[in-house]
């Protein structure tokens, strides 16, 4: 029996951060791949709160030979992208029958903005941000932690994420995964679940 629903933040509740980063830097750096490659060098430490957004930008500008003030681009990290309101309403509705949670690789400036602007307690019972707990989704431990906090067994949880590697890792621990493509797909999934009372691992 399913008891808990876990949502990713970037790519599910809102736009994927990498898209926002590419868009914000596109005037100075034309190559999307170059931006993502440079950011990828610092992403782990960034989402573990070991490096600030200012230092991420400073390092990226050095890598990419951009001669601009980082202060003009810090807004990329400080402002949330438009949330997917339908996902939040779905979470609120599901919360009447299930425990709901957020599990996100995130960073200090963004989580402060999120908590300041959104009352997450209205939608989610548990919120785990990587920068606040020192764990990331590329390691198993963060999934074990949220399962324990939800007081559920792995097979009693559904994890919705937009990255296949995260779904696979959660699945290896026995969790049920939904690979997010769009809001319509997720709504259809819940309708089928309600009708069939069944869940399939790795559902996409």
Per-residue pLDDT tens digits for 61-87: 999 999 999 999 999 998 888 899 999
Q: What is the pLDDT of residue 187?
A: 82
Domain with CATH 3.40.50.1000 in the chain: 4-15+81-196
The whole-angstrom separation of Cα 136 and Cα 141 is 8
Q: What is the pLDDT of residue 189?
A: 79
Print pLDDT tens along the chain (204 aa): 899 999 999 999 999 999 999 999 998 999 999 999 999 999 999 999 999 999 999 999 999 999 999 999 999 998 888 899 999 999 999 999 999 999 999 999 999 999 999 999 999 999 999 999 999 999 999 999 999 999 999 999 999 999 999 999 999 999 999 999 999 898 887 767 654 544 433 444
Q: What is the pLDDT of residue 196?
A: 55
The whole-angstrom separation of Cα 163 and Cα 166 is 6
Question: Any bridge partners for residue 103, and if so which?
Answer: 128
User: How many of the other CB atoms lie within 10 Å of CB of 100?
Assistant: 23
In CATH terms, the fold of domain 4-15+81-196 is Rossmann fold (3.40.50)
Q: What is the pLDDT of residue 202?
A: 40
Q: What is the pLDDT of residue 193?
A: 67
Cα-Cα-Cα-Cα dihedral sign, residues 111, 48, 94, 87? positive
pTM tops 0.75 = yes
The whole-angstrom separation of Cα 136 and Cα 128 is 10
- And the tokens for 162? 């937009």
């Amino acid at each position: 029996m399913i008891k808990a629903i876990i949502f990713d933040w970037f790519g599910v509740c809102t736009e994927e951060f990498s898209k926002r980063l590419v868009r914000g830097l596109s005037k100075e750096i034309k190559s999307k791949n170059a931006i993502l490659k440079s950011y990828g060098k610092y992403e782990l430490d960034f989402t573990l709160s070991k490096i600030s957004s200012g230092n991420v930008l400073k390092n990226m500008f050095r890598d990419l030979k951009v001669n601009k003030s980082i202060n003009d681009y810090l807004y990329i990290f400080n402002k949330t992208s438009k949330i997917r309101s339908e996902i939040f309403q779905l979470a609120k509705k599901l919360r009447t029958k299930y425990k709901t949670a957020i599990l996100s690789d995130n960073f200090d400036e963004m989580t402060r903005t999120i908590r300041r602007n959104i009352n997450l307690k209205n939608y989610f019972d548990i919120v785990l941000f990587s920068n606040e707990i020192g764990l990331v989704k590329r390691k198993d431990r963060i999934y074990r932690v949220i399962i324990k906090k939800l007081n559920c067994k792995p097979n009693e949880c559904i994890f919705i994420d937009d990255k296949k590697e995260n779904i696979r890792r959660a699945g290896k621990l026995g969790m049920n995964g939904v690979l997010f493509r769009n809001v319509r797909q997720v709504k259809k999934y819940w309708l089928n679940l309600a009708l069939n009372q069944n869940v399939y691992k790795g559902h996409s």
